[in-house]
Amino acid sequence: MKNIHHIQSASELDTIIQHSTQPVVVDYWAPWCGPCKALNPILESAADELGDEAIIAKVNIDEHPQLARKNDVGSIPTLFYFNKGRIRHRSTGITDRSGIVTRVRSYATASEPQAV
């Protein structure tokens, strides 16, 4: 899927967040995490529904622990929602597809992002 990015570096993640014209959802996960495995097909389904409306980025915290520390990720899965380079929302645990899609689409109608 073209709008799910497996992050390879901190600079790649920063570039996506800061320069994307679409909302960005960042999933902090690990391959050994059961809830992360359960969330993955939900994210894929949300990505399919959203198409070009959003970018979903996945950060494996085992490969990039510095990104988890930098963003104070203490539990996984954790989703960060960004719009216009700014954090809009953060959630921990499994989220349903409609919740992800509704939140992302709400940013398209928001005039100015508000930090959460």
pLDDT in tens, 34-66: 999 999 999 999 999 999 999 999 999 999 999
CATH of domain 4-109: 3.40.30.10
Residues whose CB falls within 8 Å of the CB of residue 116, separated by 6 or more in sequence, listed in order: 87, 88, 89, 90
pLDDT computed for residue 102 by the predictor: 96
**Spans of all domains in the chain:** 4-109
* Pairing between β-strand 55-60 and β-strand 4-6 as defined by DSSP bridges: parallel
pLDDT computed for residue 108 by the predictor: 79
Lowest mean pLDDT among 14-23, 53-62, 93-102, 107-116: 107-116
DSSP structural state of residue 2: T
Rounded-to-10 torsion of CA 30, 36, 37, 43: -120
Is the peptide bond preceding residue 77 cis, with omega within 30 degrees of 0? yes
Q: Model-level pTM?
A: 0.90
Query: Mean pLDDT across the chain, nearest whole number?
Result: 91
What is the crossing angle of helices 34-50 and 97-109, to 10°? Answer: 50
Q: How confident is the model at residue 2 (pLDDT cuts 50, 70, 90)?
A: low
Q: Which residues are catalytic?
A: 33, 36
By C-alpha distance, which of 37, 22, 23, 27 is closest to 5?
A: 27
The alpha carbon dihedral of 12, 73, 71, 49 has a sign of positive
pLDDT computed for residue 113 by the predictor: 47
